[in-house]
Amino acid sequence: MTIGKITKLIKDRGFGFITDDFGTLYFFHYSAINPKSSIKFDNLIEGMEVEFTGEPGDKGPRAKPRTLLVKNGNNSNNLSEKIV
Could you list the pLDDT tens digit for every one of the 84 residues in the chain?
Answer: 889 999 999 999 999 999 999 999 999 988 776 565 667 788 899 999 888 889 999 999 998 878 777 776 554 444 444 443
Q: What is the pLDDT of residue 46?
A: 95
Residues 6+ apart with CB under 8 A from 5: 18, 19, 47, 48, 49, 50
Q: What is the pLDDT of residue 37?
A: 62
Q: What is the pLDDT of residue 65?
A: 78
Superfamily of domain 2-70 in the CATH hierarchy: Nucleic acid-binding proteins (2.40.50.140)
* Extents of the domains making up the chain: 2-70
Cα 69 to Cα 33: distance, rounded to the nearest angstrom: 10
Q: What is the pLDDT of residue 34?
A: 56
